[in-house]
Structure 1
Amino acid sequence: MESLTLKKTSRRQDPNVEDMLTPASQNSRNYGPSLIQELGTSDLQTRGKPTSPEDALEVLRHDPEYQSLVSTLRYLAKDHADGPAGFNIRRPTPLSAQLIQVLVTEIAPNYWTLLKEDANEEKTAGLGLLLSCLRSAGGINAILTRLRAHTQDVKSQGSRRGERRDLSMDIGILLDLICHVLEGDARILDIWKVTTGVVDNPGKGRPLVQELLSIFGSGKTISLAAEAEGLLDSSSKKSIGSLWVSDSVKYTTWLSDNIMKAQSAAHIPEQSKFFPSLFGKALHLGHPEIPIRKMLSALILVKDTDPQHIASLLDNLPQTEQRKVLFSALKILSADYLNRLGNCESAESQAVISAVAGAIKACVGVSEIRRGHLTEWLTGSSAAGLGEGIGIRRAALAVVSQEKDSAVAVLEKSINQFGDQLYIKHSPMLQQEAHAQVLILAAGYLHKKSPLKLSMLLKSSAWMNAISNRLAAPHLRARFLGMVVGEALSGLVDKDDKKLNFKMEETERGEGKWYKDLVRVLDQVGTVDSLLKPQTEAPIPKKIRQAAPIKPSSQPRQQGFIIEELSDDELSDDDVVAYGKPDSDEEDSDEDATLVRRDKPKAPVYIRDLIRYLRDTENYDHQKLALMTAPTLIRRKANYGKEVSEHAEELAGLLVGLQDKYEIENFDDLKLQGMIALVVAQPQAMGAWFSKTFFDGDYSVSQRASVLVVLGLSARELAGFETSEYAAAASFPSKTLPERVEKLFIGEQSSTERLPSSSLKALPPNALDTMARSITSDFLAPLAATAADAATGPDVLKLSTFNSRLQNDQEGSSNPKVKIKSRTKPQIRTIKNTTAQLLSTSFFSPLTARFQAAIHSSASRTRGIIFQPHLLALYIKTLALLLHAAGPTTLALPQMTAELWGLLLNTGVRVQAVGDLSVTQALLFALLALLDVNEDRMRDVCRDLGREVVETQEWVGSVFGGLRGGDGGEEEQVKMMAAGVLVRLNEGIEKYRLLMVGDLIGYG
């Protein structure tokens, strides 16, 4: 027996040693107790099936025949707890642990392939019996322990090639085994029942429950499986199916399905604590939206649901987890059902909002804790669904306002916050708009429940100060919100002659009227039945070819052929049109006729066809055609029908998440151009959608970077600074003259003059960086010329080669048109106020508001993503380009300036700039853009943002002093930018110092 053991443990050390030990192992079986043991085992196998767990253990230890193995597994899989032996392999006992160890270490590696082949032919074969024996805490732990040991062996330095191959096969078998063992949406409930059913005392069963929580909810199963999968060779991966355990998304989905399956089952007191705890663990596996979506679909958005199921799940969570679940549920409900309703003015809006309110009511239940969290969501820094539509705020207020005290609390907090001076000055305008809607809606509900209480609140000093502070605000949008809120609430409690009326056109029409009408909105809490109806997709339009108009003829049509003889004089050479040679068919040029393809797909002509092509990720032709057609097709369909507007979000989601699976030429450029076409076609909707996707979407860093590039380039195109080569190709023939006629009427010279300053052709990876360099050069050129003449200013501006370096930088960029031609600063192009307002509300404000909400959020994952250096630098440059594209004529320029300046001085942002030149360069470029656009209003900047100006001067001065420069590299370029910012700031401070004195008292 000693020599036999030596053989097994040394099998993987050296093939020569194994050969040397084999005869000793064989000879040892002819002597002593080993012969008796083998005879006993052979006799046991002959009898057919074991009669006790000890017999089963002996059979499994000695390489049984397949039929004997199946009989043994069938015996072990049967529950003998009620029999005289009282044994169940799935319950934790010393004997069951030995059996499980043999099954995992000996049976599974040697018989796994045979068991799977047998299972394909007969579903009741040995594979199901083996899995049944291992579906317990002990079985899963044994598999994970064995997998960890093999993983460490492969990673060790001494593993030889042949041994590594054997270990890779064993790792593949173990991964496949754990996937089969855990398969099913009721697996955890079954394992939990078996594990805890043997314990009568809850105190003794607590360690077992903690072990199950550690196995399923700690994430160690995912990490270990992912690490082991990375060590597999290609042959092992091919022999295994889908290893879903190593995929965090699939594993979280499986875990959530199991939790909801158990939670929706019959209520068990002990179960009510285990599965809520497991649900809390699932929220921390990296994809919290998956378990929350499963919770909504399984426990709330179903007919005849038991409210006790969702209550028992949420009541056993910590308060912080309840808050997280509730806030995420509100976000999901808004995205899935309410955002598509816009301002909720359609006929179906009220029914959908009532149904969503019913879902929120089910989440809140009778818990005062969750009701308090809902009140906090409406009035807190999260801005009541920042960036979401008003529908979710209406639904949440319908739930909160069912109780008078809650409605009073929401209104009081909203009034105090709405009138706070620091809040007015520093909060993003998108956040202030959301809180203004909450305030008006809450006042309408309170007026219905208690008009007297509302009258008392509107006579308080808090209300008076709120309106006064709003009217005195420096920003136009802040004053507008103050006026509409004041008029709306005054119309509820004051008589006709005492109603507050500013007699402004902005408050009487359009958006102002919509705000004031919110006081009459009173939504009811309904059932979720309307949310359960499947959303039918719009039918795909048929391809109809429009025929040319038929001109009526005065003569009746004659039947048959008409033969007319013409003389030579009547027939001229000009009347005879010769047929040209047919174009060569590339498909027919191949010598082998079998290689000619006749089934090539045609380019999509409808948006639904384009979506279908993009979804077909397994077809190379569809993917390539979709990418090549998307920019032109989207632009062409933008103003004709509702194809683009109805499918814009779906199309954008497909384009953002598209992967270059087939290495298509110019893939990134075509993908960006398709997304730019979407934003240009639907700027108001898609600008906000892409801004939201950058923060909320489950995308990689490169995909988020592409979103920023799309926002920056599309904003420049909307503002008229750039044009796309696809814009002309997208115009319909009816919109343009024939080429020959156009030359006669317009001429070549005038047609070229109508082109914008640059053209967006092939987009380089650093498209935004190129534009940033061009804008920087425009800003620094006059400063360099002035410094060269006066020989004053910072040392870097005194260099004689500074002007030439700027010239070289511009000549080396992709835009050779921008050069230093004079010492006067080029004028910034002014654009329409409507376009500038669109860039402010749909592009700039969503990006800044969501950034501030993200940095104050407790979700470390979001903070970690946005503070990644490359992404942070690109984000700051995008904001600067948006501000520059909006231009100095933007009505919201003071608000945009304050938001961007405050973001640049954020402590977290400046900390990231320490030691990272890319982030420092982005911050300095944003400051250059701010000073460039606000050149004509520096007086207002120094008056309203005096502290920010001085703090910026100190910070940029420290950056300038800490850089060496002189080497012509990136550091010198950053130092030049810092010098330019310092010169402009010093000019403003010296000129408007007296205006800044009052604001700087106590600074420093």
Structure 2
Amino acid sequence: MTAKLVQVLVSEIVPNYWTLLNEDSHETKSSALGLLLACLRSLTGVNAIIVRLRAWLQEAKSGDGKSKRPDIAINLAVLLNLVCLLLKGNDSIRGIWKSATRTLNGNLNTRMLSQEMLSTFGSGRIIALTAEAIEHAKGHKAEIDVNNIWLANGPEYTKWLSQNIVKWQLTSPTSDETKLCSELFLKALRLGHSDTAMKCVLTRLLIAQGADNERFGLLLGHVPRSEQRKVLFSVLKTFAEDYLNRLGTSDTEGSNKMISAVAGAISAITMNDPERIAYLVEWLTGSSGAGLGDSIGIRRAVVAVVSQDRDSIVSVLEKSIAQIGDQLYIKHSPIVQQEVHAQVLLLSAGYVHKVSPLKLTLLMRSSPWLNAISNRLSSSNQRARFLGMVIGEGLSSLVDKGDKRLNFQVEEMEVPDGKWYKSLVEIQDTPGSWDPLLNPQELTQKRTSSKTPSHKPAPSQPRAQGFIIEELSDESLSEQDDVVGYRKPDSDAEDSDDDPELVRRDKAKAPVYIRDLIRYLRDTDDYDRQKLALVTAPTLIRRKANYGTEVTDHAEELASLLVGLQDKFEMDKFDDLRLQAMIAIVVTQPQLMGPWFAKTFFDGDYSVSQRSLILTVLGLSAHELAGFETSEYAAAASFPSKSLPEKIERLFISQGPSNAYQSSSSSLKPLPHNALESVATSITSSFLAPLSAAAADSATGPDVLKLSTFKSRLPDYDDSNNAATSEEQHISNPKIKIKSRTKPRIRAIPNTTAQIISTSFFDPLTARFQAALHSPVSRIRGIMFQPFLLALYLKTLALLLHAAGPSTLALPQMTGELWRLLLSTSVRAQAVGDVGITQAVLFGLLTLLDVNEDRMRDVCQELGREVVETEGWVAGVFEGLRGGDEGREEERTKMLAAGVLVRLREGVEKYRLMMVGDLIGL
């Protein structure tokens, strides 16, 4: 009988009388709308609306996409408004459960009802149906307010579901109800917005003022053991992103309190459960890295929790020593991951020395420790050797005394980075009260205010004697004949318009400060402010970078706004201006924003186009940092005090040999979204040009017969030769009238940022890609292996390697990581049948060979197996392509494959015997 009544209400009453019912906006229990919602607020009512929505959608999609009835869109809009009103509130799920279980008897019926609840609210079908209904209703111009249909928004629905779980938990539920809440919580984590769900539950059940931490423990206790590991790892990620990453590597009183508070919260969650402690040990020593990409704060907090159990902290140290000294791990793991595990080893060693000094002494006399240090020192990777040295000196400072302390006596150990690593063994954190988590902004403000210098107020000036300015009244003015007033102007420029309503007196002014720029970007309903913000952003960010801390303090917030900004007004050059603003942020703060953009690319909830924009920003920013491009906004951002007057500047620029180089320097104009592809194409042409010239020369016959050809090419070469070279030759020897064929002089550009490109751009991207490959979350893998995105990602890595250049100290490490990534099974499997990914892999290999042109002997010695495998795979690609005019993309791919084969065989021909050991295995 209840089902029949609900069916009549949904199918008859609501469509016909919704306008009348909705006139009373007050949803009180006594109103008609309130009574209707009370009748439908049950699992039967929700399912009836879902079934009705599905029926309307099926009818709408029948008949070649044309609706058979014109009222379908209107009915869909009515049902959408109804279900949103029905489920609104933080106590709706508990109310539905209470109304359904009021007449149930027996555990079997309760279990069946709980399964139906999970299927209805945790499967995500409500989100899918409402989103599809909105699109159809909008397509048929139905009157519907999309902003009120929050059920179609994934983050909003996840937040609503999490808030209902929290509300239910705070009402002292029964054991069955707590179990249902735990299962709903797991469903919420799987809806694609796990960060939103975890943040909501943590802040309300654990961190909120007066919260009972036992509630979160009970919620986690009913989660199956196989799922507790994922939930605990998600908790650690939330703590790192919301509280600890903002602290960086600072070791101040405020940061120590925050780390202690997070450790106390984690300790309350684990509740000394051996299995949960084992999950923390696995997180610290796992192959995926202990908080890869996060600051050291989360590792300090977790180690502090694990240190409460002696056996667990000793296990962390033993596993870390075995892992850090493994030769395969040293050779194949990303350097960012190795740095994270080195930090864990140093932190755990300090705690082991505190609880059991003898155990640490015995470990340092064991063979795993000696092998670990020796394997590190014998590595060809400079950063791997550095980590081995800091680990050796750090642990030796705890155990050995006097002259027995290990001291490598190298400059690398005396730099701030080396001293910071060695100081990790002295850190001793303890789990404490998590009161600082209630107001995390206070510690951040204290840390920021401590950096800003205090300015003393200017001393008050004594009152000047003499003239005194006083206000005169109108009567006194009239009495004084010598005071002559100004006459009114004949016309006012602001009132010159014929229609006074068209005169705008509230025109927005260009932002002067970064906070104004952020406020303009957030005002998405004002066209003028959006336009001014985008036009001003590239210059303003560059101008403010070296003056004060405006850009540093608000860089992440500004970048987040730009990444998610939508072209609501269809502005001209919107994409170009946004791209240039993001490039300005990265160029001015590379060490801060490079890792942030890499993290956002993998972890952020963005579309494919937004992720491709992030890769474009990283590639072009590295290109500019390396000196290959000069942005036109850089000159506009300089203050007038740093430049000569315009006439004098033209006078100096127009004279001297330096003008010859002025035209050769490229300028980074506003670029489209495919700018990265254009840069990759130009670099490819520069790689293949010498090969094409050599092939043309070899095809024209012996060198003796090429005299006429050389003479015929001489004038063309003279015209294209650098003007500076000819001018310098004429100055040094005025008698020379004929220009000789010499190699054109290349402008020397000091690549002073190679280390920044390696550590802040390249390493975070490769390390997070490796972590994504081993991630159990299928969403990350699905996004990463989208063909266009994967091809752009590989080209970005190649451009970063090219920007770092052959003089980079970390070139062996970057070469090994990129080469193994290009030859990985996952990448080559995606390249099968996809020309775009194949071209990206070949471009990466060609870049590797070009940058490592002068060190092919080392490449053959360190990567002999990869070199042989590359030659075989590229030869197979070359033979499998047809080419010709019918397939231009295949022709281009075949050209790239030929270039890689020629460069590879030329490079390894001298050192083929060196690779005999690797060839035996193949």
1:994 maps onto 2:899 in alignment? no
Would you say the 8 A contact 2:661–2:747 is kept in 1? no
Q: How does 1:624-703 map to 2 (within 5 A)?
A: 624-703=531-610
Structure 1 SS opposite 2:192: coil
Whichever residue aligns with residue 387 of structure 2, its letter is L
Structure 1 SS opposite 2:630: strand
Whichever residue aligns with residue 682 of structure 2, its letter is S
Whichever residue aligns with residue 899 of structure 1, its letter is E
Bigger drift between 449-458 and 367-376 goes to: 367-376
- Select which of 765, 777, 781 maps to 2:689: 781
Structure 2 partner of 1:495: 401
Structure 2 SS opposite 1:230: helix
CA displacement, residues 836-877 of structure 1 (integer Å, 9 cap, x when unaligned): 101100011001110111111111111111111111111111
The separation in 1 between residues aligned to 2:276 and 2:527, in whole angstroms, is: 50
Whichever residue aligns with residue 753 of structure 1, its letter is Y
Whichever residue aligns with residue 874 of structure 2, its letter is V
Structure 1 SS opposite 2:596: helix
Q: What is the CA-CA distance between 1:966 and the residue it aligns to?
A: 2.5
Q: What is the CA-CA distance between 1:589 and the residue it aligns to?
A: 7.0
The separation in 1 between residues aligned to 2:65 and 2:367, in whole angstroms, is: 79
Structure 2 partner of 1:970: 889
Q: What is the CA-CA distance between 1:641 and the residue it aligns to?
A: 0.4
Structure 1 partner of 2:768: 850
Whichever residue aligns with residue 945 of structure 1, its letter is L
- Select which of 157, 178, 185 maps to 2:90: 185
> Judging changes above 3 Å, is the alpha-carbon distance between structure 1 residues 655 and 538 closer, same or farther for their aligned structure 2 residues?
farther
1:210 maps onto 2:91 in alignment? no
The separation in 2 between residues aligned to 1:764 and 1:993, in whole angstroms, is: 44
The separation in 2 between residues aligned to 1:362 and 1:291, in whole angstroms, is: 19
CA displacement, residues 500-530 of structure 1 (integer Å, 9 cap, x when unaligned): 1111121133111111111000011011111
1:373 maps onto 2:291 in alignment? no
Structure 1 partner of 2:874: 956
Aligned residue pairs total 845
Structure 2 partner of 1:285: 191
Q: Percent identity?
A: 63
Unaligned runs of 5+ in 2: 450-464, 470-488, 702-738
Structure 1 partner of 2:330: 424
Would you say the 8 A contact 1:344–1:391 is kept in 2? no
Would you say the 8 A contact 1:172–1:240 is kept in 2? no
Q: How does 1:5-404 map to 2 (within 5 A)?
A: 95-120=1-26, 124-157=30-63, 164-233=69-138, 235-238=141-144, 242-404=148-310
Would you say the 8 A contact 1:310–1:362 is kept in 2? no
Whichever residue aligns with residue 89 of structure 2, its letter is G
The separation in 2 between residues aligned to 1:830 and 1:524, in whole angstroms, is: 53
CA displacement, residues 520-577 of structure 1 (integer Å, 9 cap, x when unaligned): 0001101111110162697999xxxxxxxxxxxxxx99999xxxxxxxxxxxxxxxxx
> Judging changes above 3 Å, is the alpha-carbon distance between structure 1 residues 825 and 113 closer, same or farther for their aligned structure 2 residues?
farther
> Judging changes above 3 Å, is the alpha-carbon distance between structure 1 residues 658 and 984 closer, same or farther for their aligned structure 2 residues?
same
Whichever residue aligns with residue 778 of structure 2, its letter is S
Structure 2 SS opposite 1:118: coil
> Judging changes above 3 Å, is the alpha-carbon distance between structure 1 residues 198 and 844 closer, same or farther for their aligned structure 2 residues?
same
Would you say the 8 A contact 1:176–1:241 is kept in 2? no
Bigger drift between 415-424 and 526-535 goes to: 526-535
Whichever residue aligns with residue 789 of structure 1, its letter is D
TM-score by length of 1: 0.81
> Judging changes above 3 Å, is the alpha-carbon distance between structure 1 residues 122 and 130 closer, same or farther for their aligned structure 2 residues?
closer
> Judging changes above 3 Å, is the alpha-carbon distance between structure 1 residues 653 and 924 closer, same or farther for their aligned structure 2 residues?
same
Whichever residue aligns with residue 625 of structure 1, its letter is L
- Select which of 785, 795, 804 maps to 1:886: 804
Bigger drift between 104-113 and 662-671 goes to: 104-113
Would you say the 8 A contact 1:217–1:278 is kept in 2? yes
- Select which of 864, 885, 888 maps to 1:946: 864
CA displacement, residues 619-673 of structure 1 (integer Å, 9 cap, x when unaligned): 1111111000000000000000000001110011001111000111100000000
The separation in 2 between residues aligned to 1:677 and 1:585, in whole angstroms, is: 41
Would you say the 8 A contact 1:656–1:703 is kept in 2? yes
The separation in 2 between residues aligned to 1:982 and 1:475, in whole angstroms, is: 27
The separation in 1 between residues aligned to 2:316 and 2:118, in whole angstroms, is: 39
Structure 1 partner of 2:412: 506
The separation in 2 between residues aligned to 1:969 and 1:704, in whole angstroms, is: 28
The separation in 1 between residues aligned to 2:294 and 2:740, in whole angstroms, is: 48
Structure 2 SS opposite 1:317: coil
Whichever residue aligns with residue 821 of structure 2, its letter is L
1:911 maps onto 2:816 in alignment? no
Q: What is the CA-CA distance between 1:697 and the residue it aligns to?
A: 0.8
Whichever residue aligns with residue 426 of structure 2, its letter is R
The separation in 1 between residues aligned to 2:586 and 2:315, in whole angstroms, is: 40
CA RMSD of aligned residues (A): 2.6
Structure 2 partner of 1:924: 842
The separation in 1 between residues aligned to 2:496 and 2:881, in whole angstroms, is: 63
Whichever residue aligns with residue 685 of structure 1, its letter is L
1:764 maps onto 2:672 in alignment? yes
Whichever residue aligns with residue 180 of structure 1, its letter is L
Would you say the 8 A contact 2:794–2:844 is kept in 1? yes
Q: How does 1:734-773 map to 2 (within 5 A)?
A: 734-747=641-654, 750-751=658-659, 753-754=661-662, 757-773=665-681
Whichever residue aligns with residue 97 of structure 2, its letter is W
Structure 1 partner of 2:813: 895
Would you say the 8 A contact 2:511–2:536 is kept in 1? yes
The separation in 1 between residues aligned to 2:173 and 2:207, in whole angstroms, is: 19
> Judging changes above 3 Å, is the alpha-carbon distance between structure 1 residues 259 and 765 closer, same or farther for their aligned structure 2 residues?
same
CA displacement, residues 666-692 of structure 1 (integer Å, 9 cap, x when unaligned): 000000000010011111101111111
Structure 1 SS opposite 2:827: helix
Structure 1 partner of 2:724: none
Would you say the 8 A contact 1:330–1:392 is kept in 2? yes
CA displacement, residues 282-339 of structure 1 (integer Å, 9 cap, x when unaligned): 1111211111111111111123332321112112223343222222221221122211
The separation in 1 between residues aligned to 2:191 and 2:184, in whole angstroms, is: 11
- Select which of 359, 363, 374 maps to 1:453: 359
- Select which of 605, 628, 638 maps to 1:731: 638
Structure 2 SS opposite 1:348: helix
Would you say the 8 A contact 2:627–2:750 is kept in 1? no
- Select which of 511, 534, 550 maps to 1:604: 511
Q: What is the CA-CA distance between 1:826 and the residue it aligns to?
A: 8.3
Whichever residue aligns with residue 891 of structure 1, its letter is L
The separation in 1 between residues aligned to 2:907 and 2:506, in whole angstroms, is: 69
- Select which of 379, 385, 388 maps to 1:482: 388
Unaligned runs of 5+ in 1: 1-94, 542-555, 561-581, 794-820
Bigger drift between 971-980 and 104-113 goes to: 104-113
CA displacement, residues 41-72 of structure 1 (integer Å, 9 cap, x when unaligned): xxxxxxxxxxxxxxxxxxxxxxxxxxxxxxxx
> Judging changes above 3 Å, is the alpha-carbon distance between structure 1 residues 206 and 215 closer, same or farther for their aligned structure 2 residues?
same
> Judging changes above 3 Å, is the alpha-carbon distance between structure 1 residues 505 and 335 closer, same or farther for their aligned structure 2 residues?
same
Structure 2 SS opposite 1:169: helix
TM-score by length of 2: 0.88
The separation in 1 between residues aligned to 2:844 and 2:740, in whole angstroms, is: 24
Whichever residue aligns with residue 396 of structure 2, its letter is S
Q: What is the CA-CA distance between 1:221 and the residue it aligns to?
A: 1.6
> Judging changes above 3 Å, is the alpha-carbon distance between structure 1 residues 410 and 835 closer, same or farther for their aligned structure 2 residues?
same
Structure 1 SS opposite 2:667: strand
> Judging changes above 3 Å, is the alpha-carbon distance between structure 1 residues 104 and 962 closer, same or farther for their aligned structure 2 residues?
same
Structure 2 SS opposite 1:762: coil
Work out which of the two has the higher radius of gyration on C-alpha atoms and give 1 or 2: 1
Bigger drift between 123-132 and 473-482 goes to: 123-132
> Judging changes above 3 Å, is the alpha-carbon distance between structure 1 residues 235 and 124 closer, same or farther for their aligned structure 2 residues?
farther
Whichever residue aligns with residue 686 of structure 2, its letter is D
